[in-house]
Every structure is written in structure tokens, then in C-alpha cells.
Chains A and B, each alone.
Chain A
Amino acid sequence: MQLNDAVTGLVIVIFALAEIAYSTTFPSLHGQAYGPSLFPILIGCGLLACGLALIARGLQERRRAGAQNAPWLRWGDWAYDPATRINMMLVPGALIAYILLSDLVGFIPLVIILLSLLLYRLGSSLGASLLYAVAVTIVLQLLFSRVLLVPLPEGIASTLFR
């Protein structure tokens, strides 16, 4: 996903303005000229300046290369292929699913499902995906839960591996 510098710059400028506005609400240190707001405001000003410079640069590039050759947004090759488009969404999707569901479902069933889905989508056969997923999940569970003593969420699988 390639953005024209002007678009990136605009996003940065908006972010910087919001950040500076929010930072001014921080209380100041008693008897000191500088408080917790100093660094955020300085960073915000820096981002603002860079954002403006990026906007200028992006517009200049668009003028030079023409709007056709320098679009505001150029999707990567993955966006034109439905399969990779789904896969690209699947990576953050799997992480979000884990964040939301791991306590409820438990580590073992959830990771088996997510892993076999990912393996299958990336080109392994269904059988191999399931096999790898189960094997890897068991190794991860034993390694982290038993050897490294990480309290992985048990969820509905709490009766297993006791």
C-alpha cells in the first residue's frame, strides 16, 4: 500500500494538531517553566513541520509526474488478487481473534483453529494444515506452559493437559 507523500503528510498534520491540542491540557509543574506537556508539544511541532514538508513534496511530485503516474493511493499487488486480499486481512484478524477470544475459548482450541486456517489459506492441504496445527499447538503449550511456566489461557480446555 503506497500513499502519496501528501496523503501521509496530511495524516501526520492532523495527528500532530490533535496531539498538541491534547498536550496543552496537561498540568504544569509547580514553580517550573517546563512540565509534562513540553516534550509532547515539541514532538507535535516537529511532526507538524515534517507533515507540511511531506505535503509539499507530494504535491510537487504529482505536478511533475502527472496525476496518472502519481496517484494519491496505490494499492500493492496483493489487493488485486482476492486470495491474497483475504490472507492480508487474516493476519491482523487472527491476532484480534486471539486478543478477544483467548480467555473464553482457551489457548489450545483457539490456536489449533487459527493455525490450521492460516496454514490452509497460505497453501498447505487441509489434512497437512490440521496435522501441523495440532502438532505445533501441543509443542507451544508444552514449551510455554510446562517449561517456561507461562499461564496460557485455559478457557473451555481447562480439563485438558492437567
Chain B
Amino acid sequence: MDTFLQALMLVLDVKVLGVMLASALFGLFVGSIPGLTATMAAALLIPFTFFMEPVPAIAAIVTTVAMAIFAGDIPGALLRIPGTPASAAYCDEAYAMTRKGQAETALGISLVCSAIGGILGAAVLTLTAPVLAEFAIKFSSFEYFWLACLGLSCAVVVSSGSTLKGFVSLLIGLFIATIGIDVTAGHPRFTFGSVEMMGGISFIPAMIGMFAISEVMRYVASPGSQQAAPQQPIRNVFKGIGSILSRYKFNVARGGVIGAVVGILPGAGADIAAWIAFAMSKRFSREPEKFGTGHVEGLVDSGTANNAGVAGAWIPALVFGIPGDSITAIVIGVLYMKGMNPGPTVFMNQPELINAVFIVFFLANVALIPLGFMAIRLSRRILHVPRKVLIPIILMFCVVGAFAINNTVFGISVMLVMGVLAYIMESNGFPVAPTILGIVLGTMLESNFMSSMIKADGEFSGFFSRPIAATLGVIVIVIWLIPLVRLLVGFVRKPQTS
């Protein structure tokens, strides 16, 4: 209880609340502009969090992302263009409601379900993370090695598109992680004599590049015309929401659970959670024929799921230092900068900070209702902001942000290379999320493997000598076998079909 009060004091500070309000407005703005994603919003925030205390820094990211994921629903419903990828799953459905004259209901349900989903996700986070941390304190390098493997394999299996390309993407990330002084022998790898490369590829400029620069390039490649929002009066979005929610209360709970669980899986975030929840909703609906005609049920499920996924992704990030999605990958970078190395020890040594994270989650999602309502009312104006002006400004923000991390232009070079790489990868169907996981987990994987090998005296059986390690190892191997089995089945079936 004492730590809870301490945490409350940390959060209920004028400065922290001010930061949260500002981040909320920023998140709502970025989220509601198509082409600017929640991850990009988080990446653009980093240079600012660099100069903040840990609690306001985390509060800024949590609030921005919660708001941005909801705000992505606004252009989805009004223009049929999802504001963030997390809204893509149900944007057709929401737009169909708008065409039927139900824009108010669509936006109202999105808003309320987002808030409920966020709170459900935060509850899962609050309840499970400390328990997991207590369990994880017993882990040694063997368990962490398998966990890193598990995270990486999961990223490949759940990533969108082909498994092969996901694997290539992962290997690129792992390769990038090997650049710099190596962890065991102190030998410089792939630095080509550059002193700046010896420290390794700084993670934050890489993230800004992969999420912001690639997005800028994508806009420049196909600018497209800016559509105007339909002139439908939007006044009371909360009308009739109560009865819809009570009819679909089971869907809300299911969406929340799906969101939180998908969020926990490394590499899968809010967008995949929304797709799965929407598909489940349609599959188990009593009136599946209404889907696609502007039916609210799918919106309830997936609107809840994407916000719940945001919180779920924090569980592995805080407990093991394994990001649940690309946003928490950024968060882990920020936490390291703040000296708050994620892992079970933070739960023991700085429980007030962890509790503060939980409180911020609840607070941000409660604040979502009034602030999101305001954003809906202002949506027509926000959608009028010309993107041709915004994009160059964002580019310059990225430049200053990447520079500010180490105060050298090396950060900008990293950002440029990673941005172009991400752009080329995405236009060729290579998912980017596994690369990020690879960069984050590469060092963890290698250093835990090396120290395990030294401990076990070069015997590989050491990786199965402890019960938890053995269990994790078996799970990893089973996951590795899935694509192989699928491949074999494909080979066997092919001659028959062709």
C-alpha cells in the first residue's frame, strides 16, 4: 500500500499531469492524421523524454499511444482511411455505419470501447506483471536465452506476410545487433574502423528511421489527394451507447482478453489484435450476415482489442525486457536511457516506478473519454491540416531528434540508412517488426548464450538442465517445427492440386 501511495504521489504531480495532457493532445492529433502512426508518435516523442524524469517520460509515451490508437478510428469512420494500422481491421465497417448516417454511434462506440479496452488491458498488466516478475527473479542466463529465442520465434510466426520473409527480416535485425564491440571478447565487429560504430547501432535513431523516415518516404512516393470529411453533424456521440454495450458485453470482455493476450506476444501489437478480434467477432456472431453492412458488433470487439493490446505489450517488456510490440521496443530503449533496466529487479528495487506505470495506464484511459470526445468534435478541422506541410516538418523533427540522442550526426546517418531499408523492405513484403525485435533482443540472445556456454563448460545439454529452462526450450523447438511441418505438408499436397 505504501508503494502505491508513493507511486500515486509520483503521478499526481503538476508536471506529470501537464506532460500527460500535452502528450494526449499530441497523440490524438497524430493518430487522427492518416499516414502518421502511433509508433511514429512514440518515436517522435523520444527526444523529449530524453530530458524528463522516468515517470513523466513513461507517462508521455503511454498517454500518447493510448490516445493515438483511439484517434486512428476517427478518419477510419469518417473517410474510410485508417488513421493508424490498428484501426484498419474495422475501418470499412465503421465507414459503412457513417454512410448509413450512424457516424455518431460508430465514433461513440469506438471511443467508449477504446477506453474500456485500455482499462481492461491495464488491469491485466497490473495483475500479471508483478506475479510474473516474482517468478522471473529465479531465471538465469539459460532461461533468458530461451526467452529471447521464444520472443524472436514468435515475432516471425505472428508477423504478417510470408514466414520466410519474416525470418529474413529477423536475421537482418540480429545482424544489426552484432555491429559494434562484441559482448564476450571485446572484439570490434563490422565497424570498419569507425569509432562511432564501435558503440553499436544506436537503437533510438534506428527506430525513428524505421517508423518515421520510411513513412515520410511512403507519403512522398504517393502523395494522394486529401479527402474532406463528410458534412455529417456529430453532436452527441454517447447516445445509445449504453444499450449497445449491454447487448455486447460479452464481446467487450472477449475483445479485451484477445487484445491483452495478442499484445503479450512479441512482435504482435494492437493492429494484429484488432484483426484477430474482428475475425473472431464475425465467426462467433449470431448475425454474421450483417458484417460489412455497418454492423456495430465487430467494432465493439476490435475497438476494445486494439487498446487492450497496447497495455498487454508492456507485460513482457517490463518483466523480461522483451518488447511485446514496436512501441514497447521504443519504451525499452527509453527505459535503458533512464537507468531503469527492464527486468524483474525493477519490480523489487523500484516498485513505486512500476506502480506509477500502472496508474498512468488507468489515468490515460479514463482521460481518453473527455479528450477523445473533444477530438471527435474537432475532427473535421484536424483532417483539414494539410499533410504536404506536415511531412517536411516531421522530417526536420526526426533530424533534430536523431541528433539529440548523442549530439552527433552519426545518429542521423543511422536514421537515414534504417529508414531507406525499412521503406524498401515494406514495399517488398518484408515485415519490419521482426527486424526491430532482432535489434532489441540480439545482444540479449548472444550474451546469455555465451555466459550459459561458459557456465555449462561448452555442453549444450546445460540448456535443458533446469526445469524452467527445459520447458521453455521444448516450447521454442515446437514453435520452430511449426513452419517446417507446414512446409512439408505443402510439398505433399502440391502435386495433387496442380
Contact = CB atoms under 8 A, between A and B. Distances in A.
B389 A119 contact: yes
Given A50-B168, A50-B171, A152-B403, A98 B185 contact: no
B168 A47 contact: yes
A3 B187 CA distance: 36
Interface string B180-194: 001011010110000
Contacts of B216: 91
Contact of A29 (B185, B392, B449): B185
Contact of B453 (A34, A40, A96): A34
A91 B396 contact: no
Interface residues of A, number: 60
A148 B397 CA distance: 13
A26 B187 CA distance: 8
**Overall SS of chain A's interface:** helix
A95 B400 contact: no
A127 interface: no
B178 A39 contact: yes
A115 B396 contact: yes
Interface string A16-56: 00010011001101001111100110010011001101100
Contacts of B446: 39
Contact of B396 (A33, A123, A136): A136
A41 B386 CA distance: 48
A158 interface: no
Contact of B428 (A2, A26, A53): A2
Given A1-B424, A35-B184, A118-B392, A149 B221 contact: no
Contacts of A34: 450, 453, 458
Nearest to A148: B51
Given A35-B184, A95-B399, A12 B220 contact: no
B450 to A, nearest CB: 7
A36 B400 contact: no
Contact of A84 (B223, B395, B396): B223
Nearest to A103: B409
A114 B185 contact: no
B317 interface: no
A151 interface: yes
Contacts of B189: 23, 26, 36, 40
Interface in B390-411: 391-393, 395-397, 399-400, 403-404, 407, 409
A111 interface: yes
Interface stretch (B274-282, B345-353, B413-421): B413-421
Nearest to B442: A39
A147 to B, nearest CB: 8
B221 A76 contact: yes
Given A88-B221, A136-B396, A148-B51, A2 B458 contact: no
B369 interface: no
Interface of B: 47-48, 50-51, 164-165, 167-168, 171-172, 174-175, 178, 182, 184-185, 187, 189-190, 213, 216-217, 220-223, 386, 388-389, 391-393, 395-397, 399-400, 403-404, 407, 409, 412-413, 415-416, 420, 424, 427-428, 442, 445-446, 449-450, 453-454, 458
17 contacts: A1-B424, A2-B428, A19-B175, A19-B190, A26-B189, A27-B185, A34-B450, A34-B458, A35-B184, A39-B174, A46-B167, A53-B164, A77-B221, A91-B220, A103-B409, A122-B392, A124-B386
Given A23-B189, A26-B189, A99-B409, 8 more contacts: A22-B190, A32-B458, A43-B178, A47-B172, A51-B168, A84-B221, A118-B395, A122-B389
Which 5 A-B residue pairings sit nearest by Cβ, starting from the closest? A118-B392, A36-B182, A78-B221, A122-B388, A150-B404
